């Protein structure tokens, strides 16, 4: 099968969608399929194809995570995709490149698969300055999602949250829930440089007897780090020897640093800033567990990476992500600051051999979350999308044939006059 994956961002950029698309590409190729990634890149002036990736000219949006956005219409892009001749066009974003994928799929009469990765209701604040504008933007995004859902032959998403989102948008089509995957071969404790991990821990100011909980992600309002800091400040004391390590940067980085200081917990909470993806292994190895209060994630890849590195998870309970963190299997769920404090101490007080076993069990719980599983699940969706597309084509052909027949039957008969 030949698959074209349309994504607004791709390597060398790193985020959840990039990691998902990269892993899917690797999984599909490992199974013998041919893949082309189509992405926006403000560094190029012309459409460039290198290593099965088409880089499309784009502009950088500095106010929105520095994303590159490409114009949706390009004859050159269309011609190159036409030459590639995909069996499936699979879009992973809803902006320039995503719209381009929709238009090209329609132009070439190819099945379209749409994966929603982002709960846009949680990101409205980036463009809406007040509540009224927020409602308007939310309404527009719902209409847009409904339109894309109607066009796509199949829809997928990483968790049940996606199903609920589409339901709220008025989409009645079946949603295929396919959890995100993690690079299990990369994120494994055996690959971590122990000396480097020890140095990271020491430079952050953590002692050997501290229990370190980390969170990794782009620091925006949707990640709910403010709540995590407030929960931490309510109960955790310096003598508890519990530390919080925030990995990542974002628009609220400085605000969160100020919050930690104002809450009086800056001695217990450290901010690493931007961490290159290749270095994350050692950062996770420097920690003892993972913690998150985010309710915007559909299936956090950063959390999965931590779990693959033997880090049990403490997660703010999220009914729509139920099953990702299972109490006693790979972590625990908390509902308030008091719950969180009890669980922090529970993991801290676990005997080392028991915590080690818990970590191994945590990785075991996601062992099927690799590239091959992701690709296999999506291949089944692709097959369904092709069948749906062929069925629609068949209906169009029948309708066209019936119309021609009806037109022929109802056409006025020519009257002939016989002259005497």
Domain match, 210 and 357 both: yes
Strand pairing partners for 34?
2
Per-residue pLDDT of the chain (420 residues; tens, 9 = 90+): 999 999 999 998 888 899 999 999 999 999 999 999 999 999 999 999 999 999 999 998 876 667 899 999 999 999 999 999 999 999 999 999 999 999 999 999 999 999 999 887 777 666 666 777 878 888 888 999 999 999 999 999 999 899 999 999 999 899 999 999 999 999 999 999 999 999 999 999 999 999 999 999 989 999 999 999 999 999 999 999 999 999 999 999 999 999 999 999 999 999 999 999 999 999 999 999 999 999 988 889 999 999 999 999 999 999 888 889 999 999 999 999 999 999 999 999 999 999 999 999 999 999 888 899 999 999 999 999 999 999 887 766 666 556 565 556 665 555 544 444
DSSP 30: H
Residue 409 domain flag: no
Domain match, 214 and 172 both: no
Please say whether the beta carbons of 291 and 268 come within 8 A: no
Domain match, 197 and 151 both: no
Question: What are the backbone angles phi and psi of residue 59, rounded to the nearest 5°?
Answer: -115, 150
Domain match, 335 and 209 both: yes
| Count of residues making up the chain | 420
Residue 264 domain flag: yes
Which sign, positive or negative, has the C-alpha torsion 226, 227, 230, 232? negative
Please say whether the beta carbons of 350 and 334 come within 8 A: no
Residue 411 domain flag: no
Tokens of 140: 């527009």
DSSP per position, 214-242: EEES--SGGG-HHHHHHHHHHH--GGG-E
How far apart CA 5 and CA 38 sit, in angstroms, is: 6
What's the total number of domains in the chain?
2
Domain match, 62 and 164 both: yes
Range of the domain at 106: 2-181+372-398
Domain match, 204 and 104 both: no
Residue 21 domain flag: yes
Of residues 244, 234, 326, the one with CA closest to residue 290 = 244
How far apart CA 91 and CA 21 sit, in angstroms, is: 10
Domain match, 149 and 201 both: no
Domain match, 77 and 196 both: no
Residue 406 domain flag: no
Residue 14 domain flag: yes
3-state percent helix, strand, coil for the chain, nearest multiple of 5: 50, 20, 35
How far apart CA 57 and CA 70 sit, in angstroms, is: 6
The pLDDT value given to residue 112: 98
Domain match, 199 and 347 both: yes
How far apart CA 166 and CA 36 sit, in angstroms, is: 28
Residue 288 domain flag: yes
CATH number at residue 360: 3.40.50.2000
- Describe the crossing of helices 371-410 and 16-30 by its angle, rounded to 10 degrees: 80
How far apart CA 268 and CA 244 sit, in angstroms, is: 6
The pLDDT value given to residue 384: 96
Please say whether the beta carbons of 134 and 123 come within 8 A: no
Domain match, 112 and 136 both: yes
Domain match, 321 and 236 both: yes
Domain match, 58 and 75 both: yes
Residue 107 domain flag: yes
């Amino acid at each position: 099968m030949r698959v074209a994956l349309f994504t607004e961002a791709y390597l060398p950029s790193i985020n959840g969608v990039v990691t998902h698309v990269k892993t899917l590409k690797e999984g599909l190729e490992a199974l013998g399929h041919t893949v082309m990634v189509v992405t926006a890149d403000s560094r190029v002036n012309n459409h460039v194809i290198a290593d099965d990736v088409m880089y499309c000219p784009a502009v950088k949006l500095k106010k929105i995570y520095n994303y590159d956005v490409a114009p949706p219409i390009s004859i050159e892009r269309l011609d190159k995709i036409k030459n590639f001749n995909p069996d499936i066009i699979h879009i992973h974003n809803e902006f320039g490149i995503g719209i381009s994928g929709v238009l090209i799929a329609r132009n070439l009469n190819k099945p379209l698969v749409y994966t929603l990765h982002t709960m846009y209701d949680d990101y409205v604040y980036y463009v809406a300055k007040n509540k009224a504008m927020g409602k308007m933007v939310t309404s527009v995004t719902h209409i847009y999602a409904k339109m894309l859902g109607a066009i796509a032959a199949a829809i997928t998403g990483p968790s049940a949250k996606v199903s609920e989102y589409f339901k709220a948008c008025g989409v009645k089509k079946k949603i295929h829930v396919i959890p995100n995957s993690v690079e299990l071969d990369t994120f494994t404790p055996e690959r971590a440089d122990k000396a480097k991990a020890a140095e990271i821990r020491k430079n952050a100011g953590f002692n050997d007897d501290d229990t370190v909980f980390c969170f990794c992600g782009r620091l925006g309002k949707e990640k709910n780090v403010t709540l995590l800091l407030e929960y931490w400040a309510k109960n955790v004391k310096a003598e508890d020897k519990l530390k919080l390590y925030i990995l990542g940067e974002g628009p609220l980085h400085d605000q969160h640093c100020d919050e930690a200081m104002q809450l009086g917990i800056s001695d217990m909470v450290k901010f690493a800033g931007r961490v290159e993806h290749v270095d994350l292994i050692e950062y996770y190895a420097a920690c003892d567990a993972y913690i998150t209060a985010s309710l915007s994630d559909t299936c956090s890849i950063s959390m999965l990476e931590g779990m693959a590195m033997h880090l049990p998870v403490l997660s703010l309970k999220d009914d729509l992500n139920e099953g990702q963190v299972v109490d006693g299997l790979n972590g625990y769920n908390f509902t308030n600051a008091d719950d969180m404090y009890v669980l922090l101490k529970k993991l801290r007080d676990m005997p080392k051999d028991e915590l080690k076993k818990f970590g191994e069990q945590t990785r075991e719980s996601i062992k099927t979350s690799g590239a091959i599983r992701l690709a296999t699940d999506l291949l089944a969706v692709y097959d369904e999308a092709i069948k749906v597309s062929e069925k629609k084509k068949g209906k169009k052909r029948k309708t066209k044939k019936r119309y021609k027949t009806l037109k022929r039957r109802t056409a006025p008969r020519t009257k002939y006059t016989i002259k005497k």
